[in-house]
Structure 1
Amino acid sequence: MSAAPAPESASRNSHLSASPLHDLMYGHIHASALRAVVVHRIPDLLADGPLTAEELAARADLQAGPVHRVLRLLAVRGLFRQHTDATFTLTAGGEALRENVPGSQRDAVLLFTDEMFRRSAAQLPDTLRTGTPGFDAAYGQPLFAYLSSAPEDSRLFDTAMSSLTSGVNEKIADSYPFPEAGTVVDVAGGRGGLLREVLTRNPGLEGLLFDRPETVTDHLLASDGLHGRWRVQGGDIFTAVPGGGDLYLLKNILHDFPDEDCLRILTAVRTAMAPGTRLLVIDALLPDDGAPHPAIALDIVMLMTLKGRERTAAEFEDLLGRAGFRLTRLVPTPALTSILEAEAV
């Protein structure tokens, strides 16, 4: 007797059990498709309503067949919607792929799908064996040394960091009770997005943005209402940090570095601070029980590109204590990051 045929539904959906594995296997394909539509500004072309692949191709000087196939893939991922009349529209999630809209992640997509990260990821098998970041192996030098001599890539890195944190900065600024007066020093503060939000919400504060000279020249502090309340200074966070501040910020910096370099940074900050002055370390916190958390994936980005890593609250407390700080409290935020408040002792 021959075996009974499998039910049609089981046959049709037999691929579903393997889909988590396939998602991992095809991850680079999804990332490449995402980069392609962003490079050609297809999300911006869809801003005013539905278009077919043919219409999109005509407006962007592309080929309709490949456009349709790539959008179909990304529709499965929830960034676009494919309709029965052969048109495509943006979903709410896809809106973040547009340029110059609130919360735009376009620059972040361009950075994390850039050759710098693709080549770094390709080196992961060797990183597991040697411990050397994939970026160092691929480019022959550390990431930040490379960026200092590659102005276009450096500009992309800075704008991507700004886009990644555009909505995060507001959440951080709203989550901590900043003082009514004094000077806030944002150490390695990039283009000053967080400092701008802090000063905007606290009109009695003044601010100092401190970062690489080539970064602070492209700052974001020239906003209405902030006139005369800020200044910028270029320098090296490993050498010396400006003194005289009443509150110091270190946002998404320590995770870039191994412990020994974190201690050099924290020591430079502590040297600039009077006893009792507060430091806010703003970083993602790894769960100490292995629970799922976005910081776990971010930790692999660190492994690929830098010698840094994400840390637990206990690991941060140990670093702070070794550099002359006392952890006073943890302040959660609605963002990926938490705020570790420490006092100079």
Structure 2
Amino acid sequence: MDERTAAAELQKLVNGFQVSQAICVAATLGIADHLKDCKRTSGELAALTNTHPQALYRLLRALASVGVFHEAEDRSFSLTPVGGALRSDVQHSVAPWAILAGRPYFRQAWSDLLHSVSTGENAFRHAYGKGVWEYRAEHPEESVIFDRAMTAMSRGVAAAVLTAYDFRPFSVVMDVAGGQGALLAEILRRNPGQRGILFDQPQVVAKAGPVFDAAGVSDRCDIVAGDFFVSVPEGADAIVLKWILHDWDDDTNIRILKTCRRAIRPEGKLLVLESILAPPNEGASAKFGDLNMLVMPGGQERT
């Protein structure tokens, strides 16, 4: 690669925040849902989304240039396979995560990455004077957006988890800090003789009922609210911790693990699901996810 080409490639990376924010806006407006059955002009989409026609066209034109949409000569737009992942009704929808990543508080925390790199401290706490969990508790509208993103991501990985691991030997599976239950619902759906326990904070599990109803497993799952630093329900022979330990420092994780150990059956198994860090020069997703742990909750990827 010559110097000019290398500079152009680096410029694309530097400007990646522009693409991210544009995708966030498209996801927030539900553009992909409006295009799922047919192509539409930017004017039609502006009317459907109550946006400025020319400004929306400029947004869509830019996203078409990076492959999210396809633009025709008449200013009509259609979905590409990549853009299809912004639909809200697909299994691997990225829309909820795109909306979360574009939230002002999320981006402001990332603006303090230099502080984290300089000191090893959590960027979010430096920017806001409190932890991200406390912040979301004080801003319930942000908690709703976060929970939607986690539910969508759980649905996206559930099939892979069930392919990789056999849950059939267990009679009771408990998902600790399991959000709104997307993963546990799929585990129970695939294992008809099994019971489940979903455990998370009250404001999170309050919206779990429809997830289990949709999977047809409501009669086999107990939804329990609480604090995993204090206690978790007893009786499970398998406890799942998915994307939990990476949120916390080592000492806090020891507290969580001790709580789980007290509750699980003597012969039970603890199943930890986290990202795997690839060898050098590979695996950008997990490694930038690790930076997100440094910036947002203050944890880290350890695998």
TM-score for both structures, normalised by structure 1: 0.81
In the alignment, which of 259, 263, 281 is matched to residue 254 of structure 2? 263
Following superposition of structure 1 onto structure 2, how do residues 163-242 of structure 1 map, counting pairs within 5 Å? Answer: 163-219=152-208, 220-223=211-214, 225-242=216-233
Point out the more displaced range, 235-244 or 50-59: 50-59
Paired residue for 2:93?
104
Paired residue for 1:6?
none
- For 1:41-100, what per-residue CA distance to the aligned partner results, in whole angstroms no more than 9, with x for missing partners? 222222232223233223333333322222222112211112234322110111121233
Question: Contact 1:208–1:231 (CA<8 Å) still a contact in 2?
Answer: yes
Separation in structure 1 between the aligned mates of residue 115 and residue 201 of structure 2, nearest angstrom: 31
Question: Contact 1:181–1:204 (CA<8 Å) still a contact in 2?
Answer: no
Q: Is structure 2 residue 265 aligned with structure 1 residue 274?
A: yes
Q: Is structure 2 residue 290 aligned with structure 1 residue 299?
A: yes
**Aligned-partner SS, 2:192:** coil
Point out the more displaced range, 88-97 or 60-69: 60-69
Point out the more displaced range, 39-48 or 181-190: 39-48
Structure 1 unaligned segments of length 5 or more: list them.
Answer: 1-12, 313-345
- Deviation of 1:193 after TM superposition, in Å, equals 0.8
Between the aligned residues of both structures, percent identity stands at: 36
Paired residue for 1:76?
65
Question: Contact 1:123–1:134 (CA<8 Å) still a contact in 2?
Answer: yes
**How many correspondences in the alignment?**
299
- For 1:234-280, what per-residue CA distance to the aligned partner results, in whole angstroms no more than 9, with x for missing partners? 11111212221111111110111111111111111112223331111
- Deviation of 1:285 after TM superposition, in Å, equals 1.4
Query: What one-letter code is carried by the residue in structure 1 that aligns with 2:168?
Result: P
Query: What one-letter code is carried by the residue in structure 2 that aligns with 1:77?
Result: V
Which structure carries more strand by proportion?
1
Separation in structure 1 between the aligned mates of residue 213 and residue 51 of structure 2, nearest angstrom: 39
Cα distance change, pair 148–63 in 1 and its aligned pair in 2 (3 A): closer
- For 1:192-244, what per-residue CA distance to the aligned partner results, in whole angstroms no more than 9, with x for missing partners? 11110110000111001111111111112234542421101111111212221
Separation in structure 2 between the aligned mates of residue 217 and residue 65 of structure 1, nearest angstrom: 41
Question: How much is the aligned-residue C-alpha RMSD, in angstroms?
Answer: 2.0
Query: What one-letter code is carried by the residue in structure 1 that aligns with 2:282?
Result: P
Which structure 1 residue ranges, 4+ long, deviate > 6 Å from structure 2?
A: none
Following superposition of structure 1 onto structure 2, how do residues 293-332 of structure 1 map, counting pairs within 5 Å? Answer: 293=283, 294-312=285-303
Separation in structure 2 between the aligned mates of residue 272 and residue 61 of structure 1, nearest angstrom: 51
Which structure carries more helix by proportion?
2
Paired residue for 1:61?
50
Question: Contact 2:248–2:299 (CA<8 Å) still a contact in 1?
Answer: yes
Query: What one-letter code is carried by the residue in structure 2 that aligns with 1:262?
Result: N
Separation in structure 1 between the aligned mates of residue 118 and residue 215 of structure 2, nearest angstrom: 52
Paired residue for 2:134?
145
Question: Contact 2:27–2:96 (CA<8 Å) still a contact in 1?
Answer: no
Separation in structure 1 between the aligned mates of residue 141 and residue 50 of structure 2, nearest angstrom: 25
**Aligned-partner SS, 2:272:** strand
**Aligned-partner SS, 2:98:** helix
**Aligned-partner SS, 1:284:** coil
Q: Is structure 2 residue 143 aligned with structure 1 residue 154?
A: yes
- For 1:152-198, what per-residue CA distance to the aligned partner results, in whole angstroms no more than 9, with x for missing partners? 11111111101122121122123211135511111111111111011
Query: What one-letter code is carried by the residue in structure 2 that aligns with 1:290?
Result: P
Cα distance change, pair 70–174 in 1 and its aligned pair in 2 (3 A): same
Query: What one-letter code is carried by the residue in structure 2 that aligns with 1:266?
Result: L
Cα distance change, pair 88–16 in 1 and its aligned pair in 2 (3 A): farther
Separation in structure 2 between the aligned mates of residue 65 and residue 14 of structure 1, nearest angstrom: 37
Point out the more displaced range, 138-147 or 56-65: 56-65
Query: What one-letter code is carried by the residue in structure 2 that aligns with 1:54?
Result: G
Paired residue for 1:247?
238
**Aligned-partner SS, 1:207:** strand
Paired residue for 1:290?
280
Query: What one-letter code is carried by the residue in structure 2 that aligns with 1:189?
Result: G
Larger radius of gyration: 1
Separation in structure 2 between the aligned mates of residue 123 and residue 53 of structure 1, nearest angstrom: 36
Question: Contact 2:234–2:263 (CA<8 Å) still a contact in 1?
Answer: yes
Separation in structure 2 between the aligned mates of residue 41 and residue 183 of structure 1, nearest angstrom: 38
Question: Contact 1:190–1:211 (CA<8 Å) still a contact in 2?
Answer: yes
Question: Contact 1:119–1:134 (CA<8 Å) still a contact in 2?
Answer: no
Structure 2 unaligned segments of length 5 or more: list them.
Answer: none
